[in-house]
Amino acid sequence: MSTTHVIENNKLLVRRLYEDCINRGNLALLTELISDEFVGSPGAQGAAEFGKGIAAVRNGFPDVQFEVEDLIAEGDRVAVRWTFRGTHGGPFAGRAASHVPVTLRMRMTMSDPEAACECAQMGLGIAWVSMPNALPFLQNKTLIRVLPDWYVDGGTLSLYFAAQKLLPAKTWVFVDYVVEHFRTQELARHFSAF
């Protein structure tokens, strides 16, 4: 089988995943398309685990449609650019149905929250980042919160130090400084997504 044939076959498999499994809900086809080596977030493997994610999306957005706009392949990898359309008609991500139509266009994914905020500030889209990362942009009003009931759980902000009294004086001064500033500047309230 030629390299070109393998690449085109991989693109066809990915297109079938979106069109047949996700859009039409044919989850039985997943056993043909998803490797047994696929590992989901809780560590479970295989097509059944992948199907749980699709089922959750289809439950929350019963009329979901992914429009595959681009498939770019090289070697054994396929990148997809898509547009998601659906109506939030069922529970999803802990939220009750809002019956609001949703359109999402996948354009860029980044792992740097400050860069995401900068891009949103330049008008390149919406950034979904944790409150501590968004706070400076919200305070100077260069960004606004468009979905006040939705938030990113960035985890707990913690300061760890030994519970013993024999810490260096500089460490105690630093801990006292942080605790005092959290109190006086109400940082816990500012960093809260609620």
Distance CA 175, CA 58 (A): 48
Confidence bin at 88 (pLDDT 50/70/90): very high
The pLDDT score that the predictor gives to residue 17 is 92
Q: What is the pLDDT of residue 164?
A: 62
Is 167 in a helix, a strand, or coil?
coil
Domain segments of the chain: what residues? 3-107, 112-194
Q: What is the pLDDT of residue 165?
A: 65
At residue 191 the predicted structure's pLDDT band, cuts being 50, 70 and 90, is low
**Domain 3-107 - what CATH class?**
alpha beta
pLDDT of 23 strictly over 70: yes
Contact (Cβ atoms closer than 8 angstroms) between residue 119 and residue 93: no
Percent of the chain topping pLDDT 70:
82
